Structure 1
Amino acid sequence: MSVTRAVQPVLDPKVGTRTAKFAHPALLLAGIVLVALNMRACLAAVSPMVAEIQHTFGLSAAASGLITTVPVLFQGVGAPLTPRLTRRFGTERVVLGAVLALGAGVLLRVLPSVATLYLGCVVIGVAIAVLNVSMPGLVKREFPHRAAMMTGVYSTTMLVGATMAAALSVPLEHALGGGWQASLGAWSVLALVAGLAWLPQVLKARQEATVPVRVAPAAVPQRPAVSPWKSPLAWQISAFMGISSLLVYTLVAWMPTILADHGMPRGEAGLVFAFSNLVQVVGAFLVPLAAGRMTRQRGLALAMAGLNAAGIAWLLLAPVSGAWASATVLGLAQGGSLGLGLAFIVLRTDSVLGAARLGGMSQAVGYLVAAAGPVGGGALHQLTGGWDATLVVMLALSAVAAVAGWGAGRDRTV
C-alpha cells in the first residue's frame, strides 16, 4: 500500500529553541481528559430521561427513539468533514469549536420545542463526530511513542463520562428542581469547562505558528496520497468498528428490556446494564495498552469478537440466570472493541493527516452501521415476538467482526 509521508520542517537553530508558553504537558493531558468526558456524557444522560421527554412533548415511542438515534446518525454524517476542517483551521481550534458546539447543542436540546430538541441532537452528533475524528490524530502527534496508551486513557475517560452521566441524571433532576430540562442542560457546564481547559492548546498553536522554520535540504519527496476509501485495510478497520458499535448500541437500546421480558425485575435489569457499562472501562483501558505492545493485533481482535459472541450466547441461552456473567463478558468485549478500534486508527497510519482521514472514514461507516442496530433489533423483535432472532443475528455479526478484525490487525499502514 502507498504510504504518504509529509515533509517535516526543521527549526532554524537561532529561533527553534523557543518554547511555547502554554506547552506544559499537564495542561494538554487535562484538556484531553475533560474533552473526552464530554464525548459520551450528553448521550448517556438522556436514557433515564426519555420517558419524561416523551410525556412533555407527547411523542410516540418511535419519535422518542430518534432522540438517541439522531446523534448516532449525524456522527456518521459529520465524520468525513473533519479532516478538511483540521487542515484549514488546525486541530486545536477545531477541537475547541467542537466542544463549544457540543455545549450549545446540549442547551438547544432542552428548549421548549420539539424542533429544537431534535436540532440539538443534530448539533451534538456532528460535534461528537468532529471530536471522534480529531482526537486520534492529535494523540498520535503529541504522544508519538505513547499513542496507544493515551488512546486507552481517553477512550476510558469517554466511558467514565457516560457512566457518570447515566448515574447522575436523576439525582441532578431532584437537586436542581427544574425537571429533565435542568438535569440535561447542566451538562453544558462540563462542555464549557472543557473549552476553557482546551484554550491553552489553541494559544500554544498560535504561538508556534509564528516561529520561523526552514525546510531541510534533503527533504523526503512526497508520494501521491491514497484515499482510505480505496484501501481494503481501511474498509476492514471500518467494518470492525461498525459492527462492534452496532452490537453496543443494540444492547444499549434493548438489553434491559430483554432481561425484563424474560422475567427479571426491571430494577435489577437496570443494575445489570449499569454494571456492564462500568466493566467497559476496564476493557477500554487495557486493550489499547496491549495493542500498543504488539506489531499485529489479530489475536486481540479475535478475542474481542469471541467475547462479544460468548456474552450474546449467554444472553440467548440463560438470560436471567446468566445475566451478570453475560454483562461482565459483554462489558469487557464492548469496551475493548472501542479501545481497539480507536487504536487501529493510530497504529495503522503514519501521519496525523492519515489518522484524521482514516478516522473520518472509519467513524462515518461505523456510526451509520451502528444506527441500524437498535432499529433492526426492535423490528426483528416485533416481527418474531421474541428476542432470539435478534440475538442470533448479533452472533452472526460477531463472526463477521472477527474476520474484519483479523484483516485490520495486520502490521500494515493505510
Structure 2
Amino acid sequence: MAVTRARQPLVTPALPVRSRLAHPALLLTGILLVALNMRACLAAISPMVGEIQQTFGLSSTASGLITTVPVLFQGLGAPLTPRLTRRFGTERVVLGAVLVLGAGVLLRVLPSIAALYGGCVVIGVAIAVLNVSLPGLVKREFPAKAATMTGVYSTTMLVGATLAAGVSVPLEKALGGGWQASLGAWSVLALIAAVAWLPQVLRSRQERAVVAAAPAGRPVDGIWRSPLAWRISLFMGISSLLVYTLVAWLPTILADHGMDRGEAGLVFAFSNLVQVAGAFLVPLAAGRMTRQRGLAVAMAGLNALGIAVLLLAPVSGAWVSAAVLGVAQGGSLGLALAFIVLRTSSAAGAAQLGGMTQAVGYLVAAAGPVGAGALHQLTGSWTTPLVLLLVLAGVAAVAGWGAGRNRTL
C-alpha cells in the first residue's frame, strides 16, 4: 500500500459554520465529558477488588480477570468500529457507546458473578468503540489542531482515571451502599456525557448533509499489510502493556520489597498524577514536529529508565521511578494516539488506523498483567518480569522510531 512523505501537514478543509445546537464549544464539552468516562469506570474498580473478592469468594486469578477482561475486549471490539461509524455516523455511534458504557457499569454491580464479568465485557466493548471513534472525529472536526486536541482528550481520560481511583472509597462511605453503590454511581457520569453529546446528534437534516458531504476521505487500502501501521500498532501495544502491567503490580512490587503499603499506594497515585502532564505535553510537542522519531525514542527510554530504577532501587528510588514512569506512560499514550491522526490524511483513515492500532494494542496489553504475575509466581521474584519489561521498552523504541518518520498512510 502507498506511504507518502508528508512535508507539510495535510489539512482537511474546515466545515461550514453550524447551528448553535452544534457550536464548537458544545462539541468540545461533549468530547471532554465522553473522554472523562473512558478510564474512570476502569480505575474506580481497582480499590474495590478486595471487597468484590470477598463478596463472591473469588480466587486471586478470578479477581485479576475483573481488570483484564475489559482490556481484552477493548482489543476485540476495536476493529468493528470503523464499519459502525461509516454506517451510522460517528455522532450516533459515540452516543450509543456512552449509553452502553453506562449500562455496563450498572450490570457490573448486580448480585451475580455472571453479571460482574458480563458488565466488564460490555464496558470493554463500549470503550473500544470510543477509543476508535474519537481520533477520526478529532481529525474531522479539528483538522489543523488534531494533535493538540488529541493531547487534550487523552489528558482528560487520565484525569478521569485519577479522580475515580481517588474518590471510590470516599464515595462508598458517603453513599453507604458498599462497593456496589460506589461503582454504580459512575453510570451517572456516563448519562451526563450522553446528554452533553445530544447536540451533536440532534442536528437538522441539512447540517447532517453538510457533515456527510465533508471530505472525510476514503478508507486506507490494505492497512493490515502496511509496515507503518504495524509500527504504530506495536508502539501502542507495548506502551499499553507497560502501563497496564505496572498499574496492576507497582504497589505490590514496592510492598514486597519492604515499603509500607500506604506509602506504596501514595507512590502509585503520584505516578498516575504525573501521567496527566505527559499525556498533555507530548502530543502538543508532536503536533509541532514534522518527525516524531526522537520523541518516541525518548518516551521508550524514560520507560526503560523508570523500570531500571525500580529494578535496582525499588524502595529508595520509588518516588523517582514513579515520576519518570508517569511522564513516560502518559506521554507514550498521548503520542500513540497522536500518531493515529498525524500518520493519516483523512478522518476515515484515522478511524481505520485507530481500529487496527487499538485492536493490536489492547490485545498485547491484556497479556502484560497476567504474564508478569505468572513469571513472578514461577520465579518467586520480580526481577525477571522487570527485565522483560526493559527489553520490551527497547522494542518500543525501535517501533517508535519507524512510526515517527515523516510519512502518511
TM over 0.5: yes
Match for 2:340 among 339, 345, 362?
A: 345
The 3 A distance-change label for structure 1 pair 92 and 224 is closer
Taking the aligned partners of 1:360 and 1:92, their CA distance within structure 2 comes to 17
Counterpart residue identity of residue 375, structure 2: L
Q: Is the 8 A contact 1:243 1:397 kept in 2?
A: yes
**What's the CA shift for 1:204?**
2.7
2:362 aligns to what? 367
Provide TM-score, normalisation by structure 1: 0.93
Other-structure match for 1:309: 304
How many residue pairs were aligned? 402
SS in structure 1 of the partner of residue 377 of structure 2: helix
In the other structure, the counterpart of 1:401 is 396
- The one-letter code sitting in structure 2 at the alignment partner of 1:326 is S
Counterpart residue identity of residue 2, structure 1: A
- Match of 1:226, SS state, is coil
- Contact in 2 for aligned 1:308/1:333 (Cα 8 Å): yes
Shift in Å, 1:245: 0.4
Unmatched tracts of structure 2, length 5 or more: 5-10
Q: Structure 2-normalised TM-score?
A: 0.95
Residue identity in the other structure for 1:129: A
Aligned to 1:89: 88
Residue in structure 2 matched with residue 165 of structure 1 by the alignment: 164
* Residue identity matched to 1:127: A
Equivalent-residue separation in structure 1 for 2:173 and 2:315 (angstroms): 32
Distance 1:135 1:285 in 2: 16
Q: Deviations over 1:294-332 (max 9, x none)?
A: 010000000000000000000000000000000000000
- From 249, 257, 262, the counterpart of 1:267: 262
Alignment of 1:218-257 (within 5 A): 225-257=220-252
- In structure 2, distance between residues paired with 1:9 and 1:145: 8
1:236/1:191 Cα in 2 relative to 1: closer, same or farther (>3 Å)? same
Are the structure 2 counterparts of residues 90 and 379 from structure 1 closer, same or farther at C-alpha, using a change threshold of 3 Å? same
Q: 1:15-26 maps to which residues of 2 (within 5 A)?
A: 19-26=18-25
Change (3 A) 1:304 1:193: same
CA pair 93-282 structure 1, distance change in 2 beyond 3 A:
same
Q: Is the 8 A contact 1:9 1:213 kept in 2?
A: no
Deviating 4+ runs (over 2 angstroms) = 1-4, 8-11, 16-21, 204-207, 209-215, 222-225
Alpha-carbon deviation of 1:226?
A: 1.3
Q: Which has the larger radius of gyration?
A: 1
What whole-Å deviation, never above 9, does each CA across 1:156-180 have from its counterpart, x for those lacking one?
0000000000000000000000000
Aligned-partner SS, 1:59: coil
- Alpha-carbon deviations, 1:10-41, whole Å to 9, x = none? 99xxxx97843422111011001100000000
CA contact (8 A) 1:20 1:207 kept: no
Pairing 1:327–2:326 present: no
Matches within 5 A, 1:46-85: 46-85=45-84
| Residues 1:329 and 1:24: Cα distance change in structure 2 (over 3 Å) | same
Q: Indicate the SS of the match to 2:144.
A: coil
Q: Counterpart of 1:292? A: 287
Residue number in structure 1 paired with 2:2: 2
Deviation at 1:207, TM superposition (A): 4.4
The amino acid of 1:378's aligned partner reads: G
SS of corresponding position for 2:143: coil
Confirm or deny: 8 A CA contact 1:345 1:359 kept in the other structure.
yes
1:184-225 Cα distance to aligned partner (Å, 9 max, x none): 00000000000000000011375413569999xxx9xx9894
Could you say which residue in structure 1 is the equivalent of 2:141? 142
